[in-house]
Structure 1
Amino acid sequence: MVGYDGSAASQRALVWAAAVSRALDDSLKIVHAVELDLVPSRRGYALRPLSPSLEMVAETLVGGPSTWPGPPLARSRVRAVHAFGGPAAGLVDASMSAELVVLGTRGRGRTRSALIGSVSFAVVAHAYCPVVVLHDLGHPARGAHHEIPIPGLRHEVVCAVTGGEDEAHLARVERIVSAAARIAAACAAPLRLVTVVPGSRGHAGGQRFPYAVTSLTSRHPGLVVTVETLTGDPVPTLAEATRGSGLLVVGAPHRGGVGAVLAGRSAYRLIHDATCPVMLVP
C-alpha cells in the first residue's frame, strides 16, 4: 500500500512501491487520505482535487513504458481508493490489511515534524505492518524517476540488527531479517547484514555477529548475503554506509509518538538522516 497526495515525495514513494510490488508479484493499493470537513456542508468532506486524478494515476501504472518508467503492472493488481478521516488515521487503518506501507516525506526537521504531527512519524508509530519511508530529497516531481534507489543488482538491501540474548529480542531480529531478505530476494538485490557497535572506527574486532545467516540461503536460494560489523554512532554510521542502497531495514521503536521523536530514537532519526528508503519493522 502506498500513500499518495500528488506531492513529489508521494510520487517517489509510488515509483518505489510499484517496482517492489511487481517484484514481489503482489497487489498495489494507492490510498489518498482525505480530511473530514468539520464544518457542515453539502459535500460532507473536503476532497482536495488531485491532478491528475487518483484513477488516472492508477491507470498510468498499467499503461506500459509510454506512460510509466518501468514495466507495467497487471490491471487486476492495482487499486486506487480514497480513505476518509485524515492522512495518518486513514493510512494506519488501511495498514491492518496490508503487508507493507510506503510513504514519502518532505524531509522536515525531527523536532518540527513531531510538534506538527508528521504523517510519516504517526504511521510508523502506529501501523500494523512494516513501513517504508522515502525522502523527497529536493528532486523535481517529473523526470527524476531513474534517481529513485530501487532494490536490485546495483542497489543492495541493508539490514541493521543489534545484539541480544532473550527470546523476544531474537524473535524480533528474525522478523526484521526475514522482511529484508524477502524484498532482497524478490528484487534480485544483494543483502548486507550490518551491526553497529560503539567505539572508534576500525576497532570492531572480536565482536560476534548477532544473527546466524545459514538459514537465509536455504530459504532464498540465490540470495547473496554478506555480514559486516561497523563501529561508531549507529545513525550517522548507517546513514553513511547505505548511500546508494535500495533499502535500509531496521526495527521500529517499541514505543512511538512525540516523546520518542524528540528523544531522538535511532529509528526515527534514520528516517530523516538516511538518504535511501528506510523500512521500519514492528
Structure 2
Amino acid sequence: MNGQETDRTTVTTDHPTDAADTTSTDESGSHHVRTAGVVIGYDGSPESRLALSWAAATARRRGSRLTLLHSVNLSFIPGFPAFDTSQVEPELQDAAKRLVDDGAQRAGDSLDASRIQTQYWLGSPAAQIVEASNDADLVVMGSRGRGRLTGGLLGSTSYAVAAHAHCPVVVVRPAHELTQPADTEATEVASVNDGLPEVVRPDAGHPVVVGFDDSEPAMRAVQAAADIAMEEGAELRIAHVVQVPSIDSWAYEETAHAGTVHAHSLREHADDALSAAVRLAKAKHPDLQVSTEVLYGDPGRAIADLGSTAGLVVVGSRGRGGFKGLLLGSVSHNIIHNAECPVMIVR
C-alpha cells in the first residue's frame, strides 16, 4: 500500500438483541432509523474507560445497544517508498481486536453481552466515528484533563467528533488527571471501572443544566435536556447568560440610557427567553421540575461553573453534522474544557 490509509470495518461482536431501534427526523423532514444506540470511541486509556463506564450505564438505562469503536490511525506509520504497510496490518488488526474485546468485557460488567457490539478499523478515528454517528442516538467520547490553567486543549479526536457528529455527543472528562493502573493478571476479569472514579450522572441531587440563548440550536438543546432530565428523574435547570461588556462600554450604555434602563432591558430579555425555554421543556414533559437562572459574564465560563453541582451540562452548537460543517463554537469548547461533569453537545 506504500503507506496509504485504508478504512476497513470488522464487527467482532454482534449478537441478536431485543434493544429497540429509534427513529429520528432530519431537517428535510425525512425519517432515519438509528440502529447503533450508544456509540463510544474507545482506545483503552483511563479516560476512555471512564467514558465507557458512563456509556454502558446510559445504554442499560435506555435499553439500547452499545457499540465500541476503535480505529488505528495509519498516518502515524512512516510511509517510506519501499515500506508496504500491508505487512503490519494483520498485527494492527489483531491488536485492535484485542483492545475492543477487552472493552466489551469491561462493559459486560453493567450491560448484557447481547447488547454489546464492537467495530475496529485501520483509518482516521475521527472520520470513522463521525460516519458511525449517522446510525447512533448518542456518541460518547473521553477526553484528557481539564482546568482553565493547567488542562490541555480538548483532544483532537474528541474535538472533531464533537464538532461534526450527526447526533448528540457527550464528552466525559475526568475532574483530575488519571493514571494508567498496573496491568491486571490474565486470570482477572476486567472491570469497567477498574479502580477509576465514578462519573457523576443526572439524578435527584444532580440537575441537568442547559444554556439557552434564543437560538435554534439552544432550543434543540433544551428539548434534549428535558428528555434526559425526565428520564433520569432529575431537575432541569435552564440558564441564560447576559454577556457583560467592558467596563467602559457598560458605563457608556448606562449613562446613555439613563442609569439602569439598559440593565433592565437586558434582564427583561433574559426573563422572556427563559420563559420561552420553560414552555418548550414542559410542552412534552408537563410534570418536569424546571428552574431558571440569569447569570452575567462570559457564557462559557458561567455555564461551565454550573457543572460543579450538575449531573450533565447540555449546550447547543451551531455547526452542521459532517466535516463540511462549522467548527465547534468557542462557548461550547469552553464548557467542555472546564465543566466538572459530562457535557452534551446538541446541534
| TM-score normalised by the chain length of structure 1 | 0.80
Q: Which residue is equivalent to 2:107?
A: 61
Tell me how far 1:42 sits from its aligned partner: 2.7
Query: Which amino acid in the other structure matches residue 144 of structure 1?
Result: L
CA RMSD of superposed structures (Å): 3.1
Matched-pair contact (CA < 8 Å) for 1:3–1:91: yes
Q: Which residue is equivalent to 2:278?
A: 213
Q: Which residue is equivalent to 2:165?
A: 127
Query: Which amino acid in the other structure matches residue 138 of structure 1?
Result: E
Measured against aligned partners, the alpha-carbon deviations of 1:157-200 in whole angstroms (never above 9, x if no partner) come to 1011103xxxxx34x33321111122222222211111111239
Structure 2 vs 1, CA of residues 173 and 108 (structure 1 numbering), >3 Å: closer, same or farther?
closer
Provide the C-alpha distance between the structure 1 equivalents of 2:287 and 2:65, rounded to a whole number of angstroms: 24
Tell me how far 1:215 sits from its aligned partner: 4.9
2:309 pairs with 1:277: no
SS of residue paired to 1:226: strand
Q: 2:291 aligns with which of 226, 230, 233?
A: 226
Provide the C-alpha distance between the structure 1 equivalents of 2:96 and 2:116, rounded to a whole number of angstroms: 18
Matched-pair contact (CA < 8 Å) for 1:160–1:193: yes
Q: Which residue is equivalent to 1:157?
A: 208
Query: Which amino acid in the other structure matches residue 129 of structure 1?
Result: C
Q: 2:305 aligns with which of 227, 231, 240?
A: 240
Provide the C-alpha distance between the structure 2 equivalents of 1:22 and 1:3, rounded to a whole number of angstroms: 18
Provide the C-alpha distance between the structure 2 equivalents of 1:11 and 1:197, rounded to a whole number of angstroms: 37
SS of residue paired to 1:275: coil
Tell me how far 1:48 sits from its aligned partner: 7.8
2:112 pairs with 1:74: yes
Matched-pair contact (CA < 8 Å) for 2:71–2:96: no
Tell me how far 1:221 sits from its aligned partner: 5.5
2:38 pairs with 1:17: no
Tell me how far 1:50 sits from its aligned partner: 6.4
Structure with bigger gyration radius: 2
Query: Which amino acid in the other structure matches residue 89 of structure 2?
Result: G
Provide the C-alpha distance between the structure 1 equivalents of 2:201 and 2:96, rounded to a whole number of angstroms: 26
Provide the C-alpha distance between the structure 2 equivalents of 1:225 and 1:19, rounded to a whole number of angstroms: 24
Provide the C-alpha distance between the structure 1 equivalents of 2:68 and 2:219, rounded to a whole number of angstroms: 29
Query: Which amino acid in the other structure matches residue 17 of structure 1?
Result: A
Matched-pair contact (CA < 8 Å) for 1:104–1:134: yes
Provide the C-alpha distance between the structure 2 equivalents of 1:108 and 1:222, rounded to a whole number of angstroms: 35
Matched-pair contact (CA < 8 Å) for 1:35–1:47: no
Provide the C-alpha distance between the structure 1 equivalents of 2:85 and 2:147, rounded to a whole number of angstroms: 35
Query: Which amino acid in the other structure matches residue 58 of structure 2?
Result: V
SS of residue paired to 1:18: helix
Q: Which residue is equivalent to 1:194?
A: 239
Tell me how far 1:99 sits from its aligned partner: 1.2
Tell me how far 1:247 sits from its aligned partner: 1.0
Gaps of 5+ in 2: 1-38, 181-193, 246-262
SS of residue paired to 2:95: coil
Structure 2 vs 1, CA of residues 48 and 231 (structure 1 numbering), >3 Å: closer, same or farther?
farther
SS of residue paired to 1:26: coil
SS of residue paired to 2:206: coil
Q: Which residue is equivalent to 2:43?
A: 5
Tell me how far 1:105 sits from its aligned partner: 0.8
Structure 2 vs 1, CA of residues 156 and 52 (structure 1 numbering), >3 Å: closer, same or farther?
farther
Matched-pair contact (CA < 8 Å) for 1:252–1:281: yes
Q: Which residue is equivalent to 1:176?
A: 221
Query: Which amino acid in the other structure matches residue 288 of structure 2?
Result: L
Tell me how far 1:205 sits from its aligned partner: 4.2
Structure 2 vs 1, CA of residues 29 and 127 (structure 1 numbering), >3 Å: closer, same or farther?
same
Q: Which residue is equivalent to 2:177?
A: 138
Matched-pair contact (CA < 8 Å) for 1:6–1:51: no
Structure 2 vs 1, CA of residues 157 and 52 (structure 1 numbering), >3 Å: closer, same or farther?
farther
Matched-pair contact (CA < 8 Å) for 2:53–2:107: no
Q: Give the paired residue count.
A: 260
Structure 2 vs 1, CA of residues 95 and 140 (structure 1 numbering), >3 Å: closer, same or farther?
same
- Aligned residue runs from structure 1 range 86-125, under 5 A: 86-107=124-145, 113=153, 118-125=156-163
Provide the C-alpha distance between the structure 2 equivalents of 1:221 and 1:198, rounded to a whole number of angstroms: 31
Matched-pair contact (CA < 8 Å) for 1:125–1:253: no
Structure 2 vs 1, CA of residues 19 and 221 (structure 1 numbering), >3 Å: closer, same or farther?
farther
Provide the C-alpha distance between the structure 1 equivalents of 2:173 and 2:277, rounded to a whole number of angstroms: 32
Q: Which residue is equivalent to 1:65?
A: none
Gaps of 5+ in 1: 63-67, 164-168
SS of residue paired to 1:124: helix
Provide the C-alpha distance between the structure 2 equivalents of 1:191 and 1:109, rounded to a whole number of angstroms: 25
Structure 2 vs 1, CA of residues 109 and 187 (structure 1 numbering), >3 Å: closer, same or farther?
closer
User: Higher mean Cα deviation, 48-57 or 244-253?
Assistant: 48-57
Structure 2 vs 1, CA of residues 5 and 240 (structure 1 numbering), >3 Å: closer, same or farther?
same
Matched-pair contact (CA < 8 Å) for 1:193–1:225: yes
